[in-house]
């Protein structure tokens, strides 16, 4: 018989709001509605309990890359993010040769099938050379539905998202193909105009890949993609809340337009997340990480982040003054809904996986539970 644990005394963030002195009952791998008298009690007075974080855009961590690493490396990267509260994540790849990406899709899809990943996100090669960021220019190509299809097939049903420059030839047809198959078409690394962005949304695009980054800035005569992505309620915007990628006022602007249900905090993390400064690779490109900021050795473009979602959360509530419930939505429920896994994760409700994060009053991470098991056990005095 599985042990039942009752986590009590904490401020618990539920979909309906914050409950003071609430409790979460964990029965085996799931959250339960009631507990027997014999259940083990865990006193979390003075702490917050929030749903496990969901990262829909992450390239690696712990020194390991999802694009290049072995299965063991990928698992190490996953584990690193789990230690920081991310209990559900997709693996994002960066631009590479088509055959290479198809081969990666095969490897990563096995980790999806065994429950370690929630899916694959292909970021590139179908992006704009004008907004390439840390992607190899010589490997970029126009979004061709046949090639998108090839990667979807290689991922055997585990492809969850493609980031596309939808203004390129084949862009809109690719968006339609993805939407038809229930795969997220995300607009990003794009040089689209406002009008072209509206067209892509009408064709079925539903996510803005790291809004503001790798796209034209908001202009008063040429509002560009940002205005279209902010104003259309069919779009959820990703934000990298690390203090480097985004000014706090830009974050506030996004929440003002989108509301708390259409923002997803992501890490866009590369290998150095949870690891340290030094020289790394992002796909085939060399990256130097200095004081936690990753930049291409050649050209100096920002090359992903070293963010973990516990830091994104703490920043959101302590620097950006976001309500805890709103930050929790952006970190858990919203990405879980987009990825089609909200029936299992993304909120603390009976029947769902017991995935949760324990934080102290200063929002420092103290515990992480995934499927009923402590990944980080809270040290309680």
**Which of 25, 240 has the CB closer to Zn ion?**
240
**Which of 240, 327 has the CB closer to Zn ion?**
240
Residue 268 CB, nearest approach to Zn ion (Å): 4
Q: Is 268 designated active site?
A: yes
Q: Which of 268, 271, 310, 320 is catalytic?
A: 268
**Which of 189, 366 has the CB closer to Zn ion?**
189
Under the binding rule (CB under 5 A), the answer on residue 55 touching Zn ion is no
Q: Whole-angstrom Cα distance, residue 310 to residue 357?
A: 9
The DSSP secondary structure of 184-222, one letter per residue, reads: EEEE-S----HHHHHHHHHHT--EETTTTTTSPPP-SS-
**Which of 188, 367 has the CB closer to Zn ion?**
188
Count the Cβ atoms, other than its own, within 10 Å of residue 40.
Answer: 11
- Non-local (6+) Cβ contacts of 102 within 8 A are 150, 151, 154
- CB-nearest residue to Zn ion: 268
Q: Whole-angstrom Cα distance, residue 13 to residue 328?
A: 8
Q: Whole-angstrom Cα distance, residue 259 to residue 128?
A: 29
Residue 62 CB, nearest approach to Zn ion (Å): 17
**Which of 11, 104 has the CB closer to Zn ion?**
104
The DSSP secondary structure of 209-278, one letter per residue, reads: TTTTTTSPPP-SS--HHHHHHHH-TT-EEEEE-SSSS--HHHHHHHHHHH-TTSEEEE--B-TTTTT-SE
| Number of residues engaging Zn ion in binding (CB under 5 A) | 2
Q: Whole-angstrom Cα distance, residue 243 to residue 225?
A: 22
Half-sphere exposure of residue 216, counting CA atoms within 13 Å on the CB side? 20
**Which of 270, 327 has the CB closer to Zn ion?**
270
Residue 179 CB, nearest approach to Zn ion (Å): 21
Binding segment toward Zn ion, per CB under 5 A, in 115-123, 287-295, 308-316, 345-353: 115-123
Q: Which of residues 140-159 bind Zn ion (CB under 5 A)?
A: none
| Helix H or strand E encompassing 371 | none
CA 322 to chain centre: 19
Q: Whole-angstrom Cα distance, residue 343 to residue 28?
A: 18
What 3-state DSSP class applies to 133? Answer: coil
Q: Which of residues 256-285 bind Zn ion (CB under 5 A)?
A: 268
Please state the length of the chain. Answer: 381
Distances (CA, A) of 230 to 9, 22, 219, 236: 39, 36, 14, 9
**Which of 232, 268 has the CB closer to Zn ion?**
268
Residue 244 CB, nearest approach to Zn ion (Å): 14
Residue 334 CB, nearest approach to Zn ion (Å): 18
Map residues 120-139 to x or -, x wherever contact with Zn ion holds by CB under 5 A: ---x----------------
Catalytic residues, by residue number, are 268
Binding residues for Zn ion, rule: CB under 5 A, are 123, 268
């Amino acid at each position: 018989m599985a042990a039942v644990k009752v986590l009590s005394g904490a401020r618990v963030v539920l979909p309906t709001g914050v409950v003071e002195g609430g409790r979460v009952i964990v029965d085996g791998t799931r959250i339960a509605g009631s507990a027997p008298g014999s259940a083990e009690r865990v006193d979390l007075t003075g702490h917050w309990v929030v749903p496990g974080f969901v990262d829909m855009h992450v390239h690696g961590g712990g020194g390991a890359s999802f694009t290049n690493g072995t299965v063991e490396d990928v698992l190490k990267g996953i584990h690193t993010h789990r230690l920081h509260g991310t209990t559900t994540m997709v693996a994002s790849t960066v631009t590479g040769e088509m055959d290479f990406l198809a081969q990666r899709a095969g490897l990563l899809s096995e980790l999806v099938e065994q429950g370690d990943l929630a899916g694959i996100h292909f970021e590139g090669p179908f992006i704009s050379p004008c907004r390439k960021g840390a992607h190899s220019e010589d490997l970029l190509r126009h979004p061709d539905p046949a090639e998108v299809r090839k990667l979807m097939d290689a991922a055997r049903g585990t492809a969850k998202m493609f980031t596309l420059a939808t203004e390129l030839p084949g862009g809109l047809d690719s968006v339609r193909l993805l939407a038809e198959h229930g795969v997220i078409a995300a607009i990003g690394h794009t040089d689209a105009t406002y009008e072209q962005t509206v067209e892509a949304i009408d064709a079925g695009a539903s996510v803005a890949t790291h809004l503001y980054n790798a796209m034209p800035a908001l202009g008063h005569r040429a509002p560009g993609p940002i205005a279209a992505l902010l104003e259309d309620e069919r779009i959820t915007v990703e934000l990298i809340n690390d203090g480097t990628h985004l000014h706090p006022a830009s974050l506030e602007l996004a929440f003002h337009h989108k509301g708390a249900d259409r923002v997803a905090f992501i890490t866009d993390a590369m290998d150095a997340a949870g690891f340290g400064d030094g020289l790394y690779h992002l796909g085939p490109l060399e990256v130097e990480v200095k004081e936690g900021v990753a930049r291409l050795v050649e050209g100096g473009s920002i090359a992903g982040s070293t963010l973990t979602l516990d830091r994104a959360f703490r920043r959101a509530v302590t620097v950006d003054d976001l309500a805890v419930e709103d930050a929790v939505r952006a970190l858990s429920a919203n990405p879980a809904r987009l990825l089609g896994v909200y029936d299992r994760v993304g909120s603390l409700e009976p029947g769902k996986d017991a995935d949760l994060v324990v934080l102290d009053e200063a929002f420092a991470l103290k515990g992480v539970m995934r499927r009923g098991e402590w990944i980080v056990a809270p040290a309680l005095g």
